[in-house]
Chains A and B, each alone.
Chain A
Amino acid sequence: MIEDRAAAGEIEPDVVEAVTAPKGPGKSRWAVAAVLLLGLLLLPLGRPFLDSYNYTILLVTNGLMWVALASSWNILGGYSGYISLGHAVFLGVGGYVAAVPLYYHGVSPFLTALVGGLAAVVLGLAVGLITLRTRGPAFIISTIALLFMFLLLVENFDYLGGTAGLPLPVVDLPQDWLKAPFFYAMLIAAVGSILLSYRVAHSKFGLGLRAIAEDETKAEVAGVPTRLYKIVAFALSAFWVGVAGAIWGYSLSFVRPSLFFTVAISAQMVLMAIIGGRGTVAGPVIGAALIVAVNEFSLTQFGSSEINIVISGALLVTVLLFFPLGIVGTLRAKRWLPAFLDWD
């Protein structure tokens, strides 16, 4: 049927191939994911056997946070092509929404983390309603402004501790197990954001977002409710960032505006998603793992965060110019993508 139409020249050959090609070995993907997840679940039990347990678990927790952030960013920036440079604002909102009840009333952020995520969603909806009414660059600009607006507000709000932020109590656990709850919480955030990204990618909604990225006018003509989709994507992409912010603040034992509401954090999310391959499910995960490793390496090698910033910027420019599809996208275009990385 489809071959007939292709023969008649109605459909491009590559489309035919995409539709008729046998689906990859889907089971292997799930097996790899299950093994990885199981390994991560058991990691804290490795404490007696690992010399560098503390270092390892901190690094992995950090990596999981960035997986959550980059995957979330990708829902808007990857699928729909609307770049948010202010996504750190949701990290800050989540962080503060969880920090305030802890600081003033002793409520654990592990209970309020989801509220932090919901607060981020509400903010995303409100801002999206204003800034996503139009197409094009105004949205991008407004996301930077949003970030700085929140920085200014939080720094001048005494209830939130001003520029010094709020100190937070340490978890009430034996020293040895102090890091485990944060690790598991970040694992939930990371898995949650990947599942969300996967669900979006495989839905009609996700298809609509991709159509918007290709050509918004055509998408609209084809009946995609573009405005609604963009706003919902923005709000969804805020959720796990907010949750991660709540956990992160608690794990640092303080929240401070200059640490949360910063372009540097937004920049890392963008970089990870783009290097890994924006618009793919696995891309941001790989990008996050890679960049966390690069950061770790450059910090130990050069010891200065300035060099690290230069490397980040240079990486972004290089990838954009030479591999705009990112790792996953480039591998797929060359048909070298291993099946366990193909989640789209």
Chain B
Amino acid sequence: MTDIIQVSIFGLLLGGVYALFASGLTLAFGVMRIVNLSHAVFIVAAAYVAYFAFEELGIDPLLSVLYLMPLFFLLGVGVYMTFFIRIEGSPRYVEMTVLLTFGLAIMTEGLLGWRFTGIFRQAKPSYLTDAFFIGDFLVPTGQFYAAVLSLVLLSGLWGFLRFTRTGYGIRATMQNRSAAQLVGVNVRRVSAISYGISAAFAGASGALMSYLFPFFPFRHWQWIALLLALVVLGGMGSLKGAVVGALVLGVASSLVVDQIGPGWGPMAFYAALFGILLVRPQGLFGKELAA
């Protein structure tokens, strides 16, 4: 029993980080109906920045969040203005976003591979191997910091969406794009900002990835598969769903690793994806989607 609690603690810490990784993905889908296959490659790109900032300049990966978020916000707005503006209102729009972000992901992956080669990287700050005890239970310090930071950022996002004027606009657009436009929301501006926020969260996620998970350019495919699976589990476009899905799968995959063996963790994600599509295709918190 204590064993299961211990594994669940690991799982919850991991789940918090997954929630941060997936938040930008679900935001982009919720607001703009963009299925962003390039989200994970952005995370990996940010991880490279944080990694080299740590290796070359000694900047702690957690501090890298401070400049990665604004940097990736601008990058995200730039990407939105360059690519997504052009396909607005095009027929078969969702399909188009999938293909476009697929191309962007391939391109970015190639650039990263060309620049940084395919070798595994991992930043190793001092707290990576530290741990402390709460009662009888072990808490790894690095993962604890990451989970706390994720919690802070996700609360910030929630507060922003809940209490600011731009946040109202974003939520209105999520609920009904044309109605939002009718009541005077500048939908295009809202979309650009949302994509920027989505990318900023990818930037923050990259800072955490740089020391939590060994990475190399090609890895992003595996990540996008996992993140999309948990977003579908939670219900596409639902932030609450993404957080709950992330926590559930964090714990579930930790239990799978504990019971079956290392390397089998992703199976929890895939099983959850096909399972939820079988019993409740719209996901835990999703609305029935129109195509």
Binding site for B on A (CB under 8 A): 81, 83, 85, 130-131, 133-138, 140-142, 144-149, 152, 156, 213-214, 216-217, 263, 267, 270, 274, 304, 306-317, 320-321, 324
Residue of B nearest to A136 (CB): B291
Q: Assess whether A316 is in contact with B222, with CB atoms less than 8 Å apart.
A: no
Q: Assess whether A310 is in contact with B277, with CB atoms less than 8 Å apart.
A: no
Main secondary structure of the interface of B (DSSP, over half): helix
Cα–Cα distance between A231 and B113 once the two chains are bound (Å): 37
Give 1 or 0 for each of B224-265: 1 = CB within 8 Å of chain A CB: 110011011000100000000000000000000000000110
- Other-chain contact of B106, A137, A144, A312 (Cβ < 8 Å): A312
Q: Which 8 A-B pairs have the closest CB atoms?
A: A313-B107, A309-B110, A313-B106, A316-B103, A310-B110, A306-B114, A317-B103, A135-B291
A-B contact pairs, 18 of them (CB 8 A): A81-B95, A131-B274, A136-B289, A137-B289, A145-B270, A147-B225, A148-B222, A149-B267, A152-B270, A156-B263, A217-B290, A306-B111, A309-B106, A309-B110, A313-B103, A313-B109, A316-B102, A320-B99
Q: Assess whether B109 is in contact with A136, with CB atoms less than 8 Å apart.
A: no
Cα–Cα distance between A63 and B6 once the two chains are bound (Å): 54
Does B278 lie at the interface of the complex (its beta carbon under 8 Å from any beta carbon of A)? yes
Q: Assess whether A141 is in contact with B282, with CB atoms less than 8 Å apart.
A: no
Collect the chain A residues with CB atoms within 8 Å of residue B270's CB: 145-146, 148-149, 152
Q: A148-B266, A149-B270 are in contact. List 5 more A-B contacts (CB 8 A).
A: A134-B277, A138-B236, A142-B274, A152-B263, A314-B103
Q: Assess whether B98 is in contact with A144, with CB atoms less than 8 Å apart.
A: no
Q: Assess whether A267 is in contact with B228, with CB atoms less than 8 Å apart.
A: no
- Other-chain contact of B94, A137, A270, A312 (Cβ < 8 Å): A137
Q: Assess whether A321 is in contact with B86, with CB atoms less than 8 Å apart.
A: yes
CB distance from A118 to the nearest CB of B (A): 22
Q: Assess whether A145 is in contact with B282, with CB atoms less than 8 Å apart.
A: no
Does B92 lie at the interface of the complex (its beta carbon under 8 Å from any beta carbon of A)? yes
CB distance from A332 to the nearest CB of B (A): 16
Chain B, 137-193, CB within 8 A of any chain A CB: none
Q: Assess whether B35 is in contact with A137, with CB atoms less than 8 Å apart.
A: yes
Cα–Cα distance between A272 and B86 once the two chains are bound (Å): 22
Cα–Cα distance between A111 and B102 once the two chains are bound (Å): 37
Cα–Cα distance between A216 and B94 once the two chains are bound (Å): 13
Q: Assess whether B103 is in contact with A134, with CB atoms less than 8 Å apart.
A: no
Q: Assess whether A141 is in contact with B102, with CB atoms less than 8 Å apart.
A: no
Collect the chain B residues with CB atoms within 8 Å of residue A309's CB: 106-107, 109-110, 113
Cα–Cα distance between A156 and B37 once the two chains are bound (Å): 27
Cα–Cα distance between A100 and B273 once the two chains are bound (Å): 29
Binding site for A on B (CB under 8 A): 29, 35, 37, 83, 86-87, 90-92, 94-96, 98-100, 102-111, 113-114, 221-222, 224-225, 228-229, 231-232, 236, 263-264, 266-267, 269-270, 273-274, 277-278, 281-282, 289-291
CB distance from A87 to the nearest CB of B (A): 13
- Other-chain contact of B107, A148, A216, A317 (Cβ < 8 Å): A317
Cα–Cα distance between A81 and B99 once the two chains are bound (Å): 11
Q: Assess whether B99 is in contact with A141, with CB atoms less than 8 Å apart.
A: no
Collect the chain B residues with CB atoms within 8 Å of residue A136's CB: 94, 289-291
Q: Assess whether A141 is in contact with B228, with CB atoms less than 8 Å apart.
A: yes
Q: Assess whether A320 is in contact with B100, with CB atoms less than 8 Å apart.
A: yes
Cα–Cα distance between A152 and B225 once the two chains are bound (Å): 12
Known: A313-B109, A317-B107. A133 touches B95 (CB 8 A): no
Residue of B nearest to A156 (CB): B263
Residue of A nearest to B231 (CB): A141
- Other-chain contact of A81, B83, B92, B108 (Cβ < 8 Å): B92
Cα–Cα distance between A131 and B83 once the two chains are bound (Å): 29
CB distance from B200 to the nearest CB of A (A): 22
Known: A148-B266, A217-B291. A310 touches B99 (CB 8 A): no
Q: Assess whether B106 is in contact with A320, with CB atoms less than 8 Å apart.
A: no
Cα–Cα distance between A36 and B267 once the two chains are bound (Å): 46
Q: Assess whether A142 is in contact with B273, with CB atoms less than 8 Å apart.
A: yes
- Other-chain contact of A138, B95, B109, B110, B281 (Cβ < 8 Å): B281
Q: Assess whether A142 is in contact with B277, with CB atoms less than 8 Å apart.
A: yes
Q: Assess whether A135 is in contact with B289, with CB atoms less than 8 Å apart.
A: yes
Cα–Cα distance between A64 and B275 once the two chains are bound (Å): 37
Q: Which of A81, A130, A320 has the most CB of B within 10 A?
A: A320
Known: A133-B281, A145-B273. A310 touches B236 (CB 8 A): no
CB distance from A9 to the nearest CB of B (A): 24
Known: A81-B95, A148-B225. A141 touches B273 (CB 8 A): yes
Collect the chain A residues with CB atoms within 8 Å of residue B267's CB: 149, 152
Q: Assess whether B266 is in contact with A152, with CB atoms less than 8 Å apart.
A: yes
CB distance from A156 to the nearest CB of B (A): 7
Collect the chain B residues with CB atoms within 8 Å of residue A307's CB: 110, 114
Q: Assess whether B107 is in contact with A324, with CB atoms less than 8 Å apart.
A: no
CB distance from A264 to the nearest CB of B (A): 8
Q: Assess whether A320 is in contact with B225, with CB atoms less than 8 Å apart.
A: no
Q: Which of A83, A274, A312 has the most CB of B within 10 A?
A: A83
Known: A135-B289, A317-B100. A310 touches B114 (CB 8 A): yes
Cα–Cα distance between A141 and B245 once the two chains are bound (Å): 15
CB distance from B141 to the nearest CB of A (A): 30
Collect the chain A residues with CB atoms within 8 Å of residue B95's CB: 81, 83
Q: Assess whether A313 is in contact with B113, with CB atoms less than 8 Å apart.
A: no
Cα–Cα distance between A142 and B281 once the two chains are bound (Å): 11
Collect the chain B residues with CB atoms within 8 Å of residue A304's CB: 114
Collect the chain B residues with CB atoms within 8 Å of residue A217's CB: 290-291
